[in-house]
Copies of this chain bind each other. A is one copy, B any other.
Amino acid sequence: MSHLNSLNNYFTEKRETHLDELKHFLRIPSISSLSEHKNDMQKGAEWLAESCIKAGLENVIIDKTNGHPVVYADWLHADDKPTILVYGHYDVQPVDPLNLWESEPFEPEVRDNKLFARGASDDKGQVFMHVKAVEALLQTEGSLPVNVKFLIEGEEEIGSPNLEAYIEENKEKLAADVIVISDTGMQGPGQPAVCYGLRGLCGVQIDVKGAKGDLHSGLYGGGVQNSIHALVSVLDSFRDAEGTIQVEGFYENVRPLLDEEREAYKALGFDEEDLKKEVGVEELFGEKGYSHLERVWARPTLEVNGVFGGFSGEGIKTVLPSEAGAKITCRLVPDQDPDEIVAKLKAHIEKNKPTGVTVTVTEFDKGKPFITPFDHPAIQAAGRSYEKVYNVPTAYTRGGGSIPIVAAFDEILGLPVVLMGFGLSSENFHAPNEHFHLENFDQGLRVIGDYYYELADLTKEQLKK
């Protein structure tokens, strides 16, 4: 473990320098969604590129896209060793409402060993850690045990509209054996987590139309179909009373949980009582035979996100509504295909369509689910690196949400993706007073450095997905 000792010494010695550098990075208000910050986006990319050069990375380039630029850098001198593609983003969320910030969002401040600034955790802080891990190894060991490529974009907070095209066009350049992303959270304070799967997303809007206008419920009620009744009969047909989705073939391609996964989740000791208190419900609800974590990480959902129709003001209006609608989204898990699921939703709606109305279905944008198998060597190696530094067992988790760009990496490059994040869910990303716990900054630098060695012990063949 000599490299860990070297890293330890290096990061200890350089801590203030590194923090000062990170503060420079955080002072650049690189808000991708606001056009008045276009120049700041360029400045953010330039600062990062210079930092990469300083770290010893090569072929550093600020690559244009149709939106904000991408920063690419590499170090490719570890012959025959695996290549790691590090993805992250240098853009940040807007800062409104400004009055709720205790210190200026773009004037970083350390309080109570936490670094407060927009982007401290999401994702500038974590991107910076990867750059510094490379720097540390090059400075202390003279070389890296693996090949490394950096791809840091400036549009993650606006949905990465140009990144898929960029990856497609630069497939060769981005060729690697594993993708590492530090943009997710740990399981809790002192509790590291490797996230190896995310849910996908698809959805439809259902619009029901009956009579050409609203009708008087006295004059027509009982004789003309009511669009809300028609709609709710469709909506209610989607799930049974226990929450099991009734769309034919919905669960067909769902990859069953491995026994090892279920055990790993169980080992997390997730407290369902705490969850009830947190969200304010008397009882949880979901598919029978699954724990809460299993439900939100590894089981697909169908949720009505919104419903509307008729009169919703105060009091009563005896209208027989002409129109009603609902928005529905599904969270998908491997190996469900969003296109197939939308087709099944449509077939279900067609089959359950009530008489007396017309029903229109409109698709929303789709995102595929992603999984790197739980027992994949790159996943288990990440867990080991965490354990060496944090001295506790690593949590192996999935995410219930969807990060479309992760699925795109998975899809286009066909590589295992390792989500090894250092943030905490309490750190207010996307909100006022975003901050980053510096103990995870410190420990994370060491974890990343170690992970390069762990990956170097694996063959390219072993890393294949």
Determine whether A210 belongs to the interface, using a CB cutoff of 8 Å to chain B: yes
Residues of B contacting A281 with CB < 8 Å? 210-212, 224-225, 356-357
Measured CA separation A301–B226 after assembly (Å): 11
Q: Which of A227-253 contact B (CB under 8 A)?
A: 228-229, 231-233, 235-236, 238-239, 241, 243
**In contact, A301 and B233 (Cβ under 8 angstroms):** no
CB of A310 within 8 Å of the partner chain: yes
Interface stretch of the complex, out of A1-9, A104-112, A285-293, A339-347:
A285-293
**A321–B329 Cα gap in the complex (Å)?**
12
**CA separation between A211 and B318, bound complex, in Å?**
30
Q: CA–CA, A115 to B232, complex, Å?
A: 46
Interface residues of A in 174-229 (CB under 8 A from B): 199, 201, 203, 210-213, 215-226, 228-229
In the complex, which residues of chain B have a beta carbon less than 8 angstroms from the beta carbon of A299? Answer: 222
Given A218-B399, A223-B296, A307 and B308 touching (CB < 8 A)?
A: yes
Closest to A357 in B: B281
Q: How far is the CA of A216 from the CA of B279 in the complex (A)?
A: 11
Whether B228 contacts A235 by the Cβ 8 Å rule is yes
| A314 CB, nearest partner CB in chain B, Å | 10
What separation, in Å, do the CA atoms of A236 and B235 have in the docked complex?
9
B-contact bits for A51-62, CB 8 A (1 contact / 0 none)? 000000000000
Q: Which residues of B contact A210 (CB under 8 A)?
A: 281
Collect the chain B residues with CB atoms within 8 Å of residue A399's CB.
Answer: 218
Contacts of A217 in B (CB 8 A): 301, 303, 305, 329, 331
Among B223, B226, B231, B236, which residue has its beta carbon within 8 angstroms of that of A284? B223
Most buried by B among A286, A299, A304, A318: A304
Could you mark each residue 294-313 of chain A with 1 if its beta carbon is under 8 Å from any beta carbon of chain B, else 0? Answer: 01100111011111111110
A126 at the A/B interface (Cβ < 8 Å)?
A: no
CB of A269 closer than 8 Å to a CB of B: no
A64 to B: closest C-beta gap in Å: 29
Interface hub of A199, A280, A281 (most chain B Cβ within 10 A): A281
Known: A215-B279, A318-B201. A232 touches B307 (CB 8 A): yes
| Residues of A in contact with B (beta carbons under 8 Å apart) | 199, 201, 203, 210-213, 215-226, 228-229, 231-233, 235-236, 238-239, 241, 243, 275, 279-287, 292, 295-296, 299-301, 303-312, 315-321, 324-327, 329, 331, 354-358, 364-365, 399-402
